[in-house]
Amino acid sequence: MKLRQLFPAGFALFCAFSAHAVEVNVAVAANFTAPMNVIAGEFAKDTGHQAKLAFGSTGKFYAQIKNGAPFQMLLAADDETPAKLAQEGLAIPASRYTYAIGTLVLWSAQPGMVDAHGEALKKGKFNKLALANPKLAPYGQAAIEVLTGMGLLEQLAPKFVQGENIAQTYQFAMTGNAELGFVALSQVMKDGKISSGSAWIVPAKLHSPIRQDAVILEAGKGNAGADALLKYLKSDKARAIIKSYGYEI
């Protein structure tokens, strides 16, 4: 008798939860792939909403959004693109905020290849250096700033292997197509430490801050899933995940 009495109430609660669950299409900067996959899983469990993720370069996402791509939210690799979209009427200005500050790292899949001070760049004992397209990816632009400040840009430019985005750049370095690569710390960090190879965590003072902003796009206006995800990214749980991948908050 008690089970028959409880079942309708439980079923009604399940139906209400399901009825309010909304899917949100999110364009995510490639450097944020690992933490965002974890956050999306927790977001689904905690809210019932589903974040449908697409990963790529911020520059390409900007072009796609301008051309009507059905994204409802953008997690960019910079703060300029979300601001530009808001100015152009393609994003909701009040929703924009910095969800993470990225860290650039010079990394090699080979142990001992990169020293803790970046001297490997000056020694030049490598054939290829991978970096993301600076016109499309903020991490690539940061790498150019570092090399310029070190007075090595002209010397090392012939050795560049340019990735379309930071994910492809990491692939070049990981597979050995380039002995060294400027990548995001989040790509090579696990449990708070460099997971493999050798690395130089580039001091933040050597390049402009990599402020990564999130914004709800016009297509996501009024979307409960987008509103919930923006709020969830600010939660203690999400912030802990973000920091565990080497980002500053």
- Name the band, by pLDDT with cuts 50, 70 and 90, for residue 1: very low
Residue 161 parent element (H or E): strand 160-163
Residues 44-85 have pLDDT tens digits of: 999 999 999 999 989 899 999 999 999 999 999 999 999 999
173-188 pLDDT, tens digit each: 999 999 999 999 999 9
Q: What's the confidence (pLDDT) of residue 16?
A: 41
- What does pTM read for this prediction? 0.82
**Can you tell me which residue has the tokens 């990735």?**
163
Over residues 137-161, the pLDDT tens digits come to: 889 999 999 999 999 999 999 999 9
Q: At residue 234, does pLDDT exceed 80?
A: yes
Contact 167, 55 (CB under 8 A): yes
| CB contact at 8 A, 219 and 96 | no
Give residue 20's identity as a one-letter amino acid code.
H
Full set of structural domains in the chain with CATH? 2-101+210-244 (3.40.190.10), 104-201 (3.40.190.10)
Please give the radius of gyration of the chain, using alpha carbons only, rounded to the nearest integer: 21
